[in-house]
Homo-oligomer: A and B are copies of this chain.
């Protein structure tokens, strides 16, 4: 198989634990029965707990990539009377903007570069908007926004707060009640450390009340919410990944809960960032998540050359960027089943090249 003996530091897919891989090696069970319903209901309840979701929140399980999570939220939660502030700080913010355009959703695009929105009241005028959309961690550049400030701003201005938390859930803090968040989008192959293919949309009561009738069957939230009441999905789900999710969520809770998980990611990120202090790299942004570090070579090396050398000579996969950032930055994920020894390996190689 390709890349079987490689160390992986990409922000999805990520290194998975032995326990998760063992489930991947098991026969996929039949699912239209109470036993599988119990699995899905347990996943829903554990996810809501880890997000500190308010009472009567729900989870929609989509067999799909993360973009389907973004798109389905745009499709389901907007009528012609709604208008969104969309934070665009990179490729995934742009995706939200493009989706709003495709679906004729009224929106104000706010291009953000050197801010984590801590002073959002000074930076954004809510005007006639009733919704806020942000990628909590803009993964294309490794930029984390201030969910606390955003949450207060949304509360003050009565904005439905939609947060793409795909690349920061369980490594960085997100709390639906504390941060006044109404909808959260998650995916399997990031912090959760599962194979790609499962995306989850979490909705509180306020977000559920915004659901529209739409043409789409595959992304029809009403249908998912209805079937989800009995622990089922309208269409055959990615059963194996859901079983892996169940195991992963139980493990997180057993290990001490979301705080422990965030603390571990923080320690790993700090360990890596301390390790590169004397190397010819600069951190690309001061607003880094625990999930990932984005580096710029501070000598005349090309980021893309470094990525290739790591891959070809050392069998280490870090994440390249495309376009105009290709030679400027590369990304090192701290998500998944990462240990300090993995980081040591990477640091040793970065010292060599």
**Chain B residues near A12 (CB, 8 Å)?**
236
Give the segment of A22-30, A48-56, A170-178 that binds chain B.
A22-30
Cα distance A344–B122 in the bound complex, in angstroms: 74
Given contacts A63-B65, A64-B64, A236-B66, contact A30 B8 (CB under 8 A): yes
Q: Which of B16, B33, B98 is close to A217, meaning CB atoms less than 8 Å apart?
A: B98
Contact B65 A235 (CB under 8 A): yes
A179 is an interface residue with CB less than 8 A from chain B: no
Contact A1 B243 (CB under 8 A): yes
Contact A189 B28 (CB under 8 A): yes
**Chain B residues near A35 (CB, 8 Å)?**
2-3
Q: Which residues in window 199-252 of A have CB below 8 A to B?
A: 215-219, 234-241, 243
A257 is an interface residue with CB less than 8 A from chain B: no
Q: Which of B29, B63, B197 is close to A13, meaning CB atoms less than 8 Å apart?
A: B29
A21 is an interface residue with CB less than 8 A from chain B: yes
Size of the A side of the interface (Cβ < 8 Å), in residues, is: 64
A residues neighboring B (CB under 8 Å): 1-4, 6, 8, 10, 12-13, 15-16, 21-33, 35-36, 38-39, 63-68, 71, 95, 98-99, 102-103, 187, 189, 195-198, 215-219, 234-241, 243, 311, 317, 319-320
Q: Would you give 28 A-B contacts (Cβ < 8 Å), ordered by A? A: A1-B29, A2-B243, A3-B30, A3-B35, A8-B29, A13-B27, A13-B28, A13-B29, A16-B28, A21-B26, A24-B24, A24-B240, A25-B25, A32-B320, A63-B63, A65-B218, A66-B235, A67-B234, A68-B235, A71-B216, A95-B217, A98-B217, A196-B236, A196-B238, A197-B237, A197-B238, A197-B240, A216-B216
